[in-house]
Amino acid sequence: MNPKLSNRIAISVLYVISGTIIVILAALLGYIIISGLPAINWHFLTSPARAFTSGGGIGIQLFNSFYLLILTMLISFPIALGAGIYLNEYAKQNWVTALVRTAIEILSSLPSVVVGLFGFLIFVVQFDFGFSILSGAFALTFFNLPLLTRSIEEALAAVPNAQREGGLALGLSKWETVTHIIVPAALPAILTGVILSAGRIFGEAAALIFTAGQSAPALNFADWNPFNMTSPLNPMRPAETLAVHIWKINSEGIMPDAKAISSGSSAVLVISVLAFNLLARFVGKRLFKRLTAS
């Protein structure tokens, strides 16, 4: 076979493969959105769910999903950033560091249902947090930390060493160099890692069923005191998220319009993740421009 022909065959095969992926992706997204869109309206997005009658919404679940996402990020991002900085900038390359890296990799491959049961035993039962947003956020932190740490570490590693030397040669300490030169330079890549893990958190159900719970008590959106039980901000209340809601409707939903609500919820979930990605990218670009003047 001549090289020209084999090259052409290889390219065609690659085109077919990538084309297939795009078609599958587009079909999936299209199906979810098209079948879900008719159910989506303002009432659906804002009103509480109904267990037995039709006309329920997903307002509380939607809020819970975002609140849980923010809370999880607030807990896990500083830890992951610190761990990433330590592993890439300070840790000596010896067997201890190698062991830590291996542990992180193993942790990242834990099935999320195992993380959920672990969170149930530790946070819900042992620490007596009950089925609560806080338990869910801690469980999701375990679920999220390995990948986020890994992606932050890789983002930092991609910054050339010459930048570190440049800072040190000016008489700056290592810490100043890392915080003021390396982290800003790695920011877009760090942000990509955050976006990816945020998508995973937003769509996670199994780890939350046993931690954040499967019920969504009515909330009073006029009450923003986090110590009140009906306040949306109260982290100790049980909080069914959108993804858990979809799972629950499909497994035991008895309302007449279960199918429509399930499709609508799925579409909202997908659109939210998409919107979150776009927003984060936009903010990241602006932030990078401001930090680097490029």
Partner 1 sequence: MLINPTSPHQGDSWLERNIVDPSERHDSPIVLETKQLRVFYGENEAIHEGDLKFPEHQITALIGPSGSGKSTFLRSLNRMNDGVATVKGQILYRGVDVNQPEIDVYEMRRRIGMVFQRPNPFSKSIYDNIVFALRRRGVTDKATLDEIVETSLKQAAIWDEVKDSLQKSALALSGGQQQRLCIARAIAVQPDILLLDEPASALDPISTGKLEETLMTLKQKYTIIIVTHNMQQAARISDYTAFFNMGRALEYNETSKIFTRPKVQLTNNYVAGDFG
The CB-of-290 to partner 1 minimum distance in angstroms stands at 10
CA 153, 196, 284 angle in degrees (round to 5)? 80
User: Which among 97-105, 107-115, 155-163, 213-221 is the span making contact with partner 1, rule CB under 8 A?
Assistant: 155-163
Question: If you ran DSSP here, which 8-state letter would residue 54 be given?
Answer: S
Contact between 285 and partner 1 per CB under 8 A? no
Contact between 172 and partner 1 per CB under 8 A? yes
Which residue has tokens 């499967």? Answer: 214
> Does residue 157 contact residue 90 with C-beta atoms inside 8 Å?
no
Contact between 226 and partner 1 per CB under 8 A? no
The CB-of-284 to partner 1 minimum distance in angstroms stands at 14
Contact between 87 and partner 1 per CB under 8 A? no
The CB-of-256 to partner 1 minimum distance in angstroms stands at 58
- C-alpha span between 190 and 183 (Å, rounded): 9
Contact between 157 and partner 1 per CB under 8 A? no
**One of 185, 190, 191, 205 touching partner 1 (CB under 8 A):** 185
Contact between 158 and partner 1 per CB under 8 A? no
Q: How many CA atoms lie within 13 A of 140 on its CB side?
A: 33
Q: Between residues 152 and 261, which has the closer beta carbon with respect to partner 1?
A: 152
Q: Between residues 64 and 177, which has the closer beta carbon with respect to partner 1?
A: 177
The CB-of-293 to partner 1 minimum distance in angstroms stands at 3
The CB-of-197 to partner 1 minimum distance in angstroms stands at 24
- C-alpha span between 176 and 166 (Å, rounded): 12
DSSP letter string over 84-140?
A: HHIIIII--SSHHHHHHHHHHHHHHTS-HHHHHHHHIIIIIIIS---SSHHHHHHHH
Nearest to 61 by CA among 227, 243, 234: 243
Contact between 292 and partner 1 per CB under 8 A? yes
Six-digit token pair at 85? Answer: 């900085």
Contact between 166 and partner 1 per CB under 8 A? yes
The CB-of-176 to partner 1 minimum distance in angstroms stands at 6
* DSSP-derived 3-state class of residue 32: helix
**One of 18, 96, 125, 180 touching partner 1 (CB under 8 A):** 180
Nearest to 235 by CA among 165, 137, 161: 137
* List of E strands, the chain: none
**One of 1, 5, 162, 222 touching partner 1 (CB under 8 A):** 162
DSSP letter string over 204-220?
A: --HHHHTTT-S------
Six-digit token pair at 246? Answer: 């979809």
Contact between 190 and partner 1 per CB under 8 A? no
User: Which among 43-51, 201-209, 260-268, 286-294 is the span making contact with partner 1, rule CB under 8 A?
Assistant: 286-294
**One of 56, 116, 167, 238 touching partner 1 (CB under 8 A):** 167
**One of 97, 163, 215, 231 touching partner 1 (CB under 8 A):** 163
Q: Binding residues for partner 1, per CB under 8 A? A: 160, 162-163, 165-173, 176, 180-181, 184-185, 291-294
